[in-house]
Structures are given as C-alpha cells and as structure tokens.
Chain A
Amino acid sequence: MVAIPSRHRSLVLLTIVVVAQVLMLAIQIQRTNTEGESKNLVRSWSVGLISPFERAGTWTVGKVRGTWRHYFALSDAAKENERLKQENDALKLQITQLRGKAAEADRLAKILNFRESQEKVPMIGARVIAASPDANSAVIYLDRGQRDGIRKNMGVITADGVVGKVIDSFSNTAQVLLLTDRESGVGAMIEESRIQSPVRGSGEPLISMSYVSNDDEVKIGEHVVTSGTDRIFPRELPVGTIVEVKQGPPPFKYIRLRPAAQLEKLEEVIVLLTMDPLALKKPAQTSDAAPASAPRNEAAPKSGAGKRTQEPAAKPAEKPR
C-alpha cells in the first residue's frame, strides 16, 4: 500500500467522498439535451471522458496510416502508378485502334453502298497492301489477284471515283497504276457540257485534261466523269473536279483536275471484274434506267466491243479481305 502522509489523509478522504457523491449524483441525474432526449449524466460524462481519447486514437491511427501510405508504402504506389500507366497506354492504343476501325467501317460502308447501287456490275473489293517503292511511279498493290478473277487492264475504283487500272496480276496480288502516274490515262468528259477528252496523270497530285479546245467553255468546279471510251471504265464514274483552267498553246486549253478518289489515302478499293462496256447507274437511278442524255461529243459504245473479258462477268461481289 502507498503510505499517505497523515496531513493529507483528510484531503484524500475528502476527495474520495466528494467524487463518490458526484458519481452518485451523476447516476441519478437525467440530463435533457436540446432535442428533448433524456440521458443519464454519468453516461454523458463517460462518453465525454472517453471520446477525446477515442478522437486522439483515431487521429493518431489516421496519421500513422497516412504517413505509412504516403511515405513508406511508396513501393506499392509506384507499382500502382506503373500499372496505371500501362493500362493508360493500352487504352490509348485501343482508342486509336477503335478510331481506325470506325474509319474503316465508314469506308467499307461507303463501298458497300456503292456496290449495292451497282448490283449488275461484277466487282470485287480489295485491300491496298503496298505502294511502289519508286517515287516516280504511282503504283499500288492489292491483296487479290488472278485467283480472284483480277486481270490486266481491269478498272480500279473507289466509291469516290476512278483510281486507276490493273497493270499486272499475279496469283494473289495485283499491281495497279494510279490515275496520277505519268503513263496513266482514262477516257473522260465534262459532266455538264459532255466535252470529251482523255485525262492523264502528270506525276503530281493533280491530273490534267489534255484535249479541250480553247473555244470550249470550261469552268472551274465542273465535274469530270468517265466517258467509257477507254473500254476499261464504265461511263459516268467520277474522275475529278476542275481546279484550274487556262488558255493553253493553241488549240487546246490547259485544264487541271483534282482526282475524285483520294489517291493518297487508299486502303480499300473495288476492282471491276469485267472489261465489257458497262453502263453504270448512278446511285440514285434504277439499274434499268438509260444512261444520261446522249453525250454531245461522245461516240456511242459499240455493242460487243472490247470483249476481252477473261472471267465470268457476274462474279458475286465480295467484301475486302
């Protein structure tokens, strides 16, 4: 037992007696709070006495935990950060792929619409798999070839317009000469005036219309379409839009066109699987409709002319592989 000095005994006794009575009072007293709830005072005191320690304990634990998490457990944070970065990169890649797929879906939908509007024209979709390594020639390679019915001099188009023609066909690959190549050409005519003239490539993004008389009236912005005279492309396929017209050395004008097809961004194309003269309907027209009004300067396609088809003309259309 701890010895209490005699002079302090009465003080200790006083403290004990008073505290005991205070506790006794606290047990009896019901304190009513502002909400009208009646609570035992000793309970309120107990809670009030304990809660600061509880708060202090919670605060301490929170601080310790926070310190641990923020300073000592950084290895986990670093791992988590690395994982999130990888996840972020993967998601970015996924977004890029999905955007590409969406664009591809748009292109394919466009091609599908075109094909559906030209039901009687045998054609096959193909994917561009390579371009010419030679900068001076505008050539692309397709992922389809002789096995798919593709032959030399078949026309290649997109839903936007003329692309070029097949210049060589291999077993599973075909080589296409683009419209912009210097050696390329297509029979064409101005859509409104029906003035005919071949369109040739110049090795540049723009193509030229070579034989339009200086006396003919040609306006910038007019559309040029195929005339069908080259026995490769059917009539009325978009070739390009006139962007420059000049009076050239007599007797012909100097006319430059922007190709209708986006030749720099080719990914999928359509190969026309026939070399018979075709009369394509416009998407808005019916298949039985007659070609547009008789061309002013155009020679009518000869019946049976150009029977160079080596494959059945009615090969069902396929989607690009």
Chain B
Amino acid sequence: MNDTFDLRSSASHIEVHKFRGGTILFATVLALFVQAFLPVYFPKVAIVDLPLLITIYFGLSRRNPSTGLLLGCAVGSLQDLLGKTPLGFYGIAKTLIGFAASSIGGKLDTEHPAARFALTATFFALHQGIVVLIQRLLLAHAEPWFTARLAIAALVNSLVGVVLYFMLDRLRRS
C-alpha cells in the first residue's frame, strides 16, 4: 500500500480492508456513545460528528457502496433514535455519505492523511448540505447553507478524522 494520493484506473488495484470481527459494530456504538456522552461535560466537543467520521472511514475502507450506504443508514438511524431528530433525518444524510465515501474509496487512494483530511472536509460539508436540504424541504426550516461555524466544524472534524482514522487503522485485519 503506498501512501501517495493517486487516481486508480482499475478496481483491481484497490485494496479492500477488512477488520476484526465486531470492529465496525463496536466502533459505531462507541462513537454514538461518546457523541452523546462527551458534550454533556465538554459542550464544545459537540462540534465533532463522530458517527459521521465512522461512516466516512468505514465507507472509504470497505469500498463497497452497498455496505457503505447500509452502514451510513444504520449509523444515522441510530443517531436519530438517540437524539430528538425525526427518524430518517440523519439516516438519509449518512446513507448518502456512506454511499459516496465507499464509491470514492473505490477510485482513490484514501490512505494518505492529506487525502483523508480533504475527503473528510468534503464529506462533512456534503453531509451538512444534505442536512440543511432536508431541513428546508421536509421540515420547512430556513437553515443557512453556509456559516463560519460550518467551516470551522469541517476543519475540526477533518483533523479529528485524520487522527481517528489512524487509530482505526490499527484494528484492520493484517
């Protein structure tokens, strides 16, 4: 596995990473728990969307759009169930992100930290875009498309993501 950021011409060159059993489930539940637990004591941590980072990471790693979208659907739905948003709100957003991440992961080398940073920032913005779209279309909430907080959140999440992804790489089956 090289650590360059190159465009792959064929899927045959793409390495599909596998993880130890229960890793995805464990990571997801942990992310949801931390996401719900930490902001109680550290409100500013709420800016980090751990379930989204988990979805992006496993989408990019598994590189299977079907798996990616189903993982996103599951993570988003759990996030909805644990929160006060209607069921499907984050489910839709993370389904699309899971699909996009796994689709992109099949075409790009996503192992390089810079690539991961850029992709995470992009997916975070896309995720927020989808959330705002859902809010505008379905909930009739006139949320702004772009704010400074969104930009900061994208940067923070990308940085956290790069670190998190590095840690999660350790759980890969060698």
| A and B are interacting partners | yes
| Cβ contact within 8 Å between A18 and B87 | no
Report the Cα distance A21→B134, complex, angstroms.
Answer: 11
Instruction: Please encode chain A, from 1 to 44, with 1 for each CB lying within 8 Å of some chain B CB and 0 for all others.
Output: 00000000111011001100110111011010000000001000
Asked whether A18 and B96 contact (CB < 8 A) given A9-B66, A25-B134, the answer is yes
Contacts of A11 in B (CB 8 A): 65
| Cβ contact within 8 Å between A24 and B69 | no
| Cβ contact within 8 Å between A14 and B88 | no
A9, A13, A22: the one within 8 Å of B88 (CB): A22
Contacts of B103 in A (CB 8 A): 10
| Cβ contact within 8 Å between A24 and B66 | no
The reply to whether the CB of B86 lies closer than 8 angstroms to some CB of chain A is yes
Report the Cα distance A142→B92, complex, angstroms.
Answer: 106
Contacts of B58 in A (CB 8 A): none
The reply to whether the CB of B70 lies closer than 8 angstroms to some CB of chain A is yes
Question: Which A residue's beta carbon lies closest to that of B91?
Answer: A21
| Cβ contact within 8 Å between A14 and B87 | no
Instruction: Please encode chain B, from 64 to 81, with 1 for each CB lying within 8 Å of some chain A CB and 0 for all others.
Output: 111001100100010000
Instruction: Please encode chain B, from 8 to 23, with 1 for each CB lying within 8 Å of some chain A CB and 0 for all others.
Output: 0000000000000000
Asked whether A25 and B70 contact (CB < 8 A) given A14-B96, A18-B95, A18-B96, the answer is no
| Cβ contact within 8 Å between A21 and B138 | no
| Cβ contact within 8 Å between B139 and A14 | no
Question: Which A residue's beta carbon lies closest to that of B102?
Answer: A10
Asked whether A21 and B92 contact (CB < 8 A) given A28-B86, A28-B87, the answer is yes
Contacts of A29 in B (CB 8 A): 86, 138-139
* CB pairs A–B below 8 angstroms (29 shown): A9-B66, A10-B64, A10-B69, A10-B103, A11-B65, A13-B69, A13-B70, A14-B65, A14-B69, A14-B95, A14-B96, A17-B69, A17-B73, A18-B92, A18-B96, A21-B87, A21-B88, A21-B91, A21-B92, A21-B95, A22-B92, A25-B87, A25-B92, A25-B134, A25-B138, A28-B88, A29-B86, A29-B138, A31-B140
Contacts of B117 in A (CB 8 A): none
Report the Cα distance A115→B171, complex, angstroms.
Answer: 132
Inter-chain pairs besides A10-B99, A13-B65, A25-B134, 7 sampled, C-beta below 8 Å: A13-B70, A14-B96, A21-B73, A21-B87, A21-B88, A25-B86, A25-B88
Q: How many residues of B contact A (CB 8 A)?
A: 21
Interface residues on A, range: 10 to 19
| Cβ contact within 8 Å between B138 and A24 | no
Contacts of A26 in B (CB 8 A): 138
Whole-angstrom distance between the Cβ of A3 and the nearest chain B Cβ = 16
The reply to whether the CB of B89 lies closer than 8 angstroms to some CB of chain A is yes
Whole-angstrom distance between the Cβ of A312 and the nearest chain B Cβ = 106
Asked whether A41 and B69 contact (CB < 8 A) given A18-B96, A22-B88, the answer is no
Closest 9 A/B residue pairs (Cβ): A10-B65, A21-B88, A25-B88, A28-B86, A24-B88, A10-B66, A21-B91, A21-B92, A14-B99
Contacts of B92 in A (CB 8 A): 18, 21-22, 25
Whole-angstrom distance between the Cβ of A99 and the nearest chain B Cβ = 71
Whole-angstrom distance between the Cβ of B73 and the nearest chain A Cβ = 5
Indicate the member of A18, A25, A29 with the most B CB atoms within 10 Å. Answer: A25
Question: Which B residue's beta carbon lies closest to that of A9?
Answer: B66
Instruction: Please encode chain B, from 22 to 39, with 1 for each CB lying within 8 Å of some chain A CB and 0 for all others.
Output: 000000000000000000
Instruction: Please encode chain A, from 127 to 156, with 1 for each CB lying within 8 Å of some chain B CB and 0 for all others.
Output: 000000000000000000000000000000
Contacts of B66 in A (CB 8 A): 9-10, 13
Contacts of B64 in A (CB 8 A): 10
Contacts of A25 in B (CB 8 A): 86-89, 92, 134, 138
